[in-house]
Amino acid sequence: MTVVQTIMAAVAVVSFGAITQAQVSPATVEIPADVKEHVRKRVERGSSMGIVVGLVNASGTTFYSAGSKTKGGDPVSESTIFEIGSVTKVFTSLLLADAVERGTVKLNDPIDGFVCDGVKAPSFDGTKITLHDLATHRSGLPRMPWNISPADVSNPYADYTDKKLHEFLTDHKLRRKPGSVYEYSNLGAGLLGHLLARKAGKTYVQLIRERICKPLGLKDTTLTRSSAPTDRLAHGHSGSKPASAWDFDCLAGCGAIRSTAKDMLTFLAAHMGFEPSPLRAAMERMRSERRDTDNANLKIGLGWHISTMGDATAYWHNGETGGFHSFVGFHAERGVGVVVLANSNTSIDDIGLHLLDRRSNLRMPIIEITLFPEELERYVGKYKIAGQKIFYVAAAGNRLRMRFGNQKEFHIIPESKTVFRLEEGDATVTFTMDDTGRVKKLVLSRNGVDVPATRMN
């Protein structure tokens, strides 16, 4: 139990029991009101420029959007095109699973059989990296190649070429045996896409279009800005400030795809078997290949992260570029799929996870302002709740600390001169001032429940 949960229980305002698992009925598909409100508030507070949420089940799809493609611009919608970042890795692993089904490769094929002549793939004490290792982040390769040095740091992959990749592979020394340790690697996923394209005698862009987009009818899924309708492209943001778009060369397989919420739900619907698809067997293979990660509660298949949520298994992946964040996931047993796309790099994972499992809390991102120590002094004091219970507020540098009775202290971070948020957790503390600027009371709020306290001194 968190500190705030303990406080809430202690003041006997309400009992926070376990939230029951939300089931989406096959007869209907609807985005919950709390998610709509949360998305709207994120946009209003400037945490995200625009967010699109989509749900799919056997009965169909539904969407909810808030915000715009750029500041003051047109609103985002299910047809707006976003960078989806590392969700691209799921597409790359689907290419691998499809190649296995076609009989052109085997999962345990060593990668040294796919590289160019004259390029030496790294190994460790005779153990070679396999395609399976690349897809499950157990190749032993680092997250990023050590010879990446972008001319434009705001577009880091744009000039990482085949030549640089080949130089890296030839010179790199593995520190551990391939297959032995999970280490998330953008390099490994990008290399996998590169090798599969080379094996097929096509570019990665061509392979994605021919093997995935065309069979599934993903009309607005693309890899390059030039091939996307300009009027439907969302502009990326770092928080609320404009951010550069990302372009990819030979590591496209780790993060180059752009797509819409509508296309991504079509993609998920195919994975859940709602429509017949020539990729059905390959998609099932992606779920059956599981390995451990560095998180005891998380497994990995081919591309998909795999989590047990209540009585069901969730398959999901998130993504982030310099100006975008994405989340896709689905429950095979419950038959519900989720997509969340945003054109700010602030995480929206909490929204996706909450839609998959209502016990996973929605968390408003913290937007911190700076208050000087002399300003913080106005909040310091004792605040009486019901009965004899007391909140203690003290200053700590440029932040405040709070304590309930003799419970553990926690920091609260200023988002404005009246609203503070817990550094860890999902609660807010709102201070009320009189006309002279003197703080008179506070209200601790969590999950729609308020605990008011009046200042004593």
Report the 10 Å Cβ neighbour count for 448: 8
Task: Identify the residue with better confidence: 415 or 367.
Answer: 415
For the chain, domains (ranges, CATH) are 3-13+367-455 (2.40.128.50), 68-266+274-328 (3.40.710.10)
Please name the residues in contact with 331: beta carbons below 8 A apart, sequence gap of 6 or more: 309, 312, 313, 314, 337, 356
**11-15, 62-66, 111-115, 254-258, range with the lowest pLDDT:** 11-15
Crossing angle, helix 280-288 and helix 261-271, to 10 degrees? Answer: 80
Is the pLDDT at 17 greater than 70? The verdict is no
Radius of gyration of the chain, Cα coordinates, nearest whole angstrom = 25
Inform me whether the pLDDT recorded for 89 exceeds 80: yes
* CA pair distance 341, 87, nearest whole angstrom: 11
Positive or negative, the Cα torsion across 143, 146, 152, 158? negative
pLDDT digits (tens, 9 = 90+) for 174-231: 999 999 999 999 999 999 999 999 999 999 999 999 999 999 999 999 998 888 888 8
Q: What is the dihedral angle through the alpha carbons of 247, 253, 255, 257, rounded to the nearest 10 degrees?
A: 70
Q: How confident is the model at residue 426 (pLDDT cuts 50, 70, 90)?
A: low
Q: Round to whole Å and give the CA distance between 3 and 159.
A: 48
Instruction: Check: CB of residue 94 under 8 Å from CB of residue 286.
Output: yes
Helix pair 186-200, 88-102: axis angle to 10 deg: 40
| pLDDT band at residue 25 under the 50/70/90 scheme | very low
3-state DSSP call for residue 40? helix
Give the pLDDT of residue 4: 55
Mean pLDDT, the chain, rounded, equals 89
Q: For residue 373, name the pLDDT band (cuts at 50, 70, 90).
A: confident
Which of 23-32, 370-379, 426-435 is predicted least confidently?
23-32
Give the DSSP per-residue string, 18-68: PPPPPPPPTT-----HHHHHHHHHHHHHTS-SEEEEEEEETTEEEEEEEEB
- Sequence-distant (6+) residues with CB within 8 A of 145 are 160, 164, 165, 168, 172, 187
The type of residue at 189 is A
Q: Can you give the pLDDT at residue 295?
A: 82
Residues paired with residue 313 on neighbouring β-strands, in sequence order: 308
pLDDT of 192 reads 98
- d(Cα 74, Cα 84) in Å, to the nearest integer? 20
Element (H, E) at 179: none
